[in-house]
């Protein structure tokens, strides 16, 4: 067990100072990056939602050709740089802008679709794609019209956001180390001004 009293007053003060400031600065780094991530995710959600509404209007048009929906999904997905998945009411994938529908399983149990089935205006989920093996943001809106009843799902990779946040964390840690060194120098000077006179008095 650590015997605290065997250390000098200066070492005790410096140790307490380091512990308090390390905890405080780590909390700031965590909170800042968490808030930044939430802000980015909010922007992604808004973008996906409005794009999904536009796609819903498109496929709800009377002249929409469902016979070419898979090719249509690939073309539109390429233009907006998002993955588009069209799913029927039973959860069967009928079109996907990235993968062949024959390779995809039933999607009815996916969290984002279940959210819509419970009455939400849209469903969303963040998870690793089983096909792409990267973190994706999924957003689903329902479609209910005479031509089609089911779901439109858009997905966007979070690789760019995670890369920005990882870079930001590295920069924060570097800044944190510099601040800690400056703090140590400052506390050393302060304790010297306090303790040296006390040592002279005790002597």
* pLDDT tens per residue across span 120-172: 999 999 998 776 678 899 999 999 887 788 999 999 999 888 888 888 888 88
Q: How many residues appear in the chain?
A: 203
Whether 148 is covered by a domain: the verdict is yes
Q: Which structural domain range is residue 50 located in?
A: 35-161
CATH of the domain at 142: 3.30.450.20
Whether 186 is covered by a domain: the verdict is no
Domain count, the chain: 1
Whether 21 is covered by a domain: the verdict is no
Whether 41 is covered by a domain: the verdict is yes
Whether 189 is covered by a domain: the verdict is no
Cβ atoms of 68 and 152 within 8 Å: the answer is: no
Whether 184 is covered by a domain: the verdict is no
Residue pLDDT, tens place only, 91-125: 999 999 998 898 889 999 999 999 999 999 999 99
**Angle at alpha carbon of residue 141, lines to 38 and 137, rounded to 5°:** 35
Whether 135 is covered by a domain: the verdict is yes
Residue pLDDT, tens place only, 78-87: 999 999 999 9
């Amino acid at each position: 067990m650590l015997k605290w009293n065997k250390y000098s007053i200066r070492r005790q003060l410096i140790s307490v100072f380091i512990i308090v400031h390390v905890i405080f600065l780590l909390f700031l780094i965590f909170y800042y990056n968490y808030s930044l991530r939430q802000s980015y995710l909010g922007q992604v959600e808004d973008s996906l939602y409005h794009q999904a509404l536009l796609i819903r209007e498109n496929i709800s048009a009377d002249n929409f050709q469902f016979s070419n929906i898979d090719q249509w999904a690939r073309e539109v997905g390429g233009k907006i740089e998002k993955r588009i998945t069209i799913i029927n009411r039973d959860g069967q994938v009928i079109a996907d802008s990235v993968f062949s529908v024959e390779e995809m399983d039933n999607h009815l149990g996916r969290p984002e679709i279940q959210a819509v089935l419970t009455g939400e205006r849209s469903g969303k989920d963040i998870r690793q794609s089983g096909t792409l093996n990267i973190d994706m943001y999924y957003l689903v809106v329902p479609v209910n019209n005479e031509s089609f009843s089911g779901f439109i799902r858009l997905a966007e990779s979070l690789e760019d956001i995670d890369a920005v946040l990882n870079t930001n964390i590295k920069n924060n840690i570097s800044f944190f180390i510099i601040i800690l060194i400056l703090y140590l120098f400052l506390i050393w000077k302060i304790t010297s001004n306090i303790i040296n006179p006390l040592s002279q008095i005790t002597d």
